Amino acid sequence: MQEIYLDNSATTKVCEEAAKTAFSLMTETYGNPSSLHKMGFEAEKALRLAREQVAKVLSAQPDEIIFTSGGTEADNLALFGATHARKKRGKRIVSTAIEHPAVLNTLHSLEEEGFEVLYLMPDKEGHISPEQVFEAVNPDTILVSMMAVNNEVGTILPIEAAHMAIESSGAPALLHVDAVQAFGKLPLSPKHLGIDLLSISAHKIHGPKGVGALYLKKGITIRPHTFGGGQERNLRPGTEAMPLIGAFGTACSVLPSPLVSRKKAQALSDLLFETLASVPGVVRNSPTDALPFVCNLSVLGIRAETMLHFLSSKNIYVSSGSACSKGKKSPVLSAMKLSSERIDSALRVSFSRYNTEEDVLAFCDAIKEGIRSLQHV
């Protein structure tokens, strides 16, 4: 039976080009980039190329890219690094209640250190309004951290408003954006959006797990929280994981245009919700203006775990929310104040460039079959 993978917000299949690069850097160009011999120079050249490839997607400079072990480490480096560097200027941080756990749990740790965090609440569709941001940012704010796209419902957050709020308030705040779900899917130029720090991950764009990056705007200083040999501008020391970094760069180099990708994803999202619109008990949780790569819906009366197991038996793979919050009630859907019934039955379908209309129709057929079978169990 053909496998249908619709959990691409959790992770993606590594593309063939990236896998080839990783293999080459493990078996051929395997020197240490810091070594002063031919093998080291070749590895350093591969490191420089990867940095250029990642930077190009962001219209950034290569020396603004700091490689990390993934989005979580990039978020931690940004939040701890920015606040510790600016703590003499204030203690106020503005964020949202629908951030990824990599941000939320870091903010909780900063609260224990004495920082004040204001969490903006979404409306019932997961939106954060520009007005909320302007009201929240004041002259004492030292950091605004806001995701570009929500990982559970696909809501696009008002990043430009956050930059404008900082400017108009006169706050000494830096703007951090968790762009893990937006990278490669939305046109992102930190320079034009007024972003100071931006976190990304390779395994959401058909690169390998275990590598990501932090964009750090030139001229911005943050405090390191790991120490070692001085790699990555002394912010992320340790021998560079070249097979992963090189593969990340290659994955970036073969990304299709965000406009092309979004158009295809929009067609798949429209097909999914139109096909299920007339099915009793199916409720849409994602807003209509969500980034179409992420589709959240509830099948009322059937717990998400039960439906997931049924779909898995059909070789169809989706999730019940963030893969990083396994087994926990969704904090995003809870913040949206959805009913417990909708939260407990919520499914997240997420697309990649490899998904097809046939995948979507097979999923919809399986949902209909699951409703017939499971509601009578």
Q: Give the residue numbers marked as catalytic.
A: 324
Count, residues in the chain: 377
Q: Sheet holding 197-201: strands in order across?
A: 65-68, 212-216, 197-201, 174-178, 141-145, 92-96, 116-120
Three-state SS string across the chain, please? CCCEECECCCCCCCCHHHHHHHHHHHHCCCCCCCCCCHHHHHHHHHHHHHHHHHHHHCCCCHHHEEEECCHHHHHHHHHHHHHHHHCCCCCEEEEECCCCHHHHHHHHHHHHCCCEEEEECCCCCCCCCHHHHHHHCCCCEEEEECCCECCCCCCECCHHHHHHHHHHHCCCCEEEEECCCCECCECCCHHHHCCCEEEEEHHHCCCCCCCEEEEECCCCCCCCCCCCCCCHHHCCCCCCCHHHHHHHHHHHHCCCCHHHHHHHHHHHHHHHHHHHCCCCCEEECCCCCCCCCEEEEEECCCCHHHHHHHHHHCCEECECCCHHHCCCCCHHHHHCCCCHHHHHCEEEEECCCCCCHHHHHHHHHHHHHHHHHHCCC
Structure tokens at 302: 């059937």
Q: How many CB atoms lie within 10 A of CB 223?
A: 14
How far apart CA 225 and CA 82 sit, in angstroms, is 11
How far apart CA 365 and CA 268 sit, in angstroms, is 15
